[in-house]
Amino acid sequence: MTTHSLLLLPGDGIGPEVMAEVERLVAFFNKNGKVQFQLDTALIGGASIDQSGTPLTDETLGKARAAEAILFGAVGGPKWDKVAYAIRPEAGLLRLRKELDLFANLRPAICYAALAEASTLRREHVEGLDILILRELTGGTYFGEPKEIVTLETGEKRAVDTTVYTTHEIERIARVAFDLARKRRNKVHSAEKRNVMKTGVLWHEVMTATHAREAQDVELNHILADACAMQLVRNPKQFDVIVCDNLFGDMLSDEAAMLTGSIGMLPSASLGAPDPKTGKRRALYEPVHGSAPDIAGKGLANPIAAIASYGMALRYSCGLVREADLIEAAIAGTLARGLRTSDIMQPNMRKVGTAEMGKAILAEIEKLAS
Ligand code: IPM
Ligand code: MG
């Protein structure tokens, strides 16, 4: 039996609460005996700042490099509003993405049948929705230099962020987009702002060339990122894979999340390049929702995004497709039985907290697995 090594980084806010529900499922699989997970836990974000004055220690980074997959909770909160910008909680996550070169961020937005009414869009627009936002994660505005605030001679301040992309960075995310589309409905929309940004011009050029050279079997459409935001709420089902830069992907994925009913539903996978020897990719799995400080510690958070992220880890890092399918079916089944955390609460449904939702999903897994 293969043992899979997972590093848990619960982080801040609701992170530890939703991670506890993931651990509940891990314990079940371990007890069941068919697969074995070896867990390690480390600090990141505010929790790490509190202990060692930095949001990502070398120790955590070392564990992250060694793990087969990382399961991440959330970082940040008002408690750390005043820490220096360079060591704010979010910097820990950004550095982890960069150091591990996790350039491909997969954010699937799937609308479970039972939740079609929970979306702010009408049922016919979201029922059966299954789209994937592929966000470039280690370049663009997030990491470009200079990135600074300087004081001018007049005493006025001037802030700069720099958006940078190279051919190679666009090419490798394009390839991931085409590969993913081939396993889905074979359609890619590349979103950029070539009407305003030079990075958009290059993005469009490299997408077009990579497509012509390597992926003519896939349908490629170009769309301006603002139009894409509009079309996402106008007619989301026209999309299959949307590929875009780091900043547009941050925004479009939050928008796509709401189509599914709640941001509390969305998992994500951040993948590196395949290792030339083993073919394995470095990988970090995280719920798209943040640390939600307003509900942290109250047992109210929706654990589904974290549980679904664990499912993605099983599928993409551990090759455990059956177990991943089981988790997805159990989430759908639990929702169909009418259980709802408060973020997806609907009339005549049963409102439950974090742990109760986790236990119900586990019970559903046990039922389906037997
Ligand atoms: C996300 C988050 C992060 C980002 C924050 C927490 C730094 O919003 O993963 O979408 O902006 O990338
Ligand atoms: Mg975001």
Mutate to test the pocket of ligand 1, among 44, 97, 142, 250 (most ligand atoms within 8 A of CB): 250
Residue pLDDT, tens place only, 197-224: 999 999 999 999 999 999 999 999 999 9
Ligand 1 atom nearest 76 alpha carbon: 6
Q: Can you give the pLDDT at residue 352?
A: 98
Question: How many angstroms is it from 68 CA to the middle of ligand 2?
Answer: 24
Q: How far is the CA of 269 from the centre of ligand 2 (A)?
A: 13
Name the band, by pLDDT with cuts 50, 70 and 90, for residue 1: confident
pLDDT of 368 above 80: yes
Q: Where exactly are the structural domains of the chain?
A: 1-108+261-370, 132-229+244-254
Residue nearest to atom 7 of ligand 1 (CA): 90
CATH 3.40.718.10 assigned to 1-108+261-370: yes
Percent of the chain with pLDDT over 90: 92
Global model pTM greater than 0.85:
yes
Residue 2 has pLDDT above 90, yes or no: no
> Between these two residues, 11 and 278, which has the higher pLDDT value?
11
250 pocket-lining for ligand 1 (C-beta < 6 Å): yes
Strands in 139-218 per DSSP E: 144-151, 157-162, 187-192
Model confidence at 77, pLDDT cuts 50, 70, 90, reads very high
Establish whether residue 12 lines the binding site of ligand 1, counting it when its CB lies within 6 angstroms of any ligand atom.
no
pLDDT tens-digit map of 164-181: 999 999 999 999 999 999
Mean pLDDT of the residues in the chain: 96
Q: How far apart are CA 192 and CA 243, in angstroms?
A: 9
- Among protein residues, the one whose CA lies closest to atom 5 of ligand 1: 90
Q: What is the DSSP string of 246-289?
A: HHHHHHHHHHHHHHTT-GGG---EEEEEEPTTT--EEEEE--SS
Residue-level pLDDT at 337: 96
Domain 1-108+261-370 and domain 132-229+244-254, same fold? Reply is: no
The rounded Å distance from CA 105 to ligand 2 centre is: 11
- What tens digit of pLDDT does each residue of 331-351 get? 999 999 999 999 999 999 999
Q: Note the pLDDT of residue 117.
A: 87
Q: Which fold has domain 132-229+244-254?
A: Rossmann fold (3.40.50)
Each residue's pLDDT tens digit, 19-40: 999 999 999 999 998 899 999 9
Q: For residues 261 and 344, what is the distance between their CA atoms, to the nearest angstrom?
A: 6
The tokens describing 295, both together, are: 């509900």
Ligand number with the minimum distance to the CA of 142:
1
Atom 8 of ligand 1, residue of closest alpha carbon = 250
Q: Is residue 140 classed exposed, middle or buried when 0-12, 13-18 and 19+ CB atoms within 10 A define those classes?
A: buried
Q: Which helix (H) or strand (E) holds 105?
A: strand 104-110
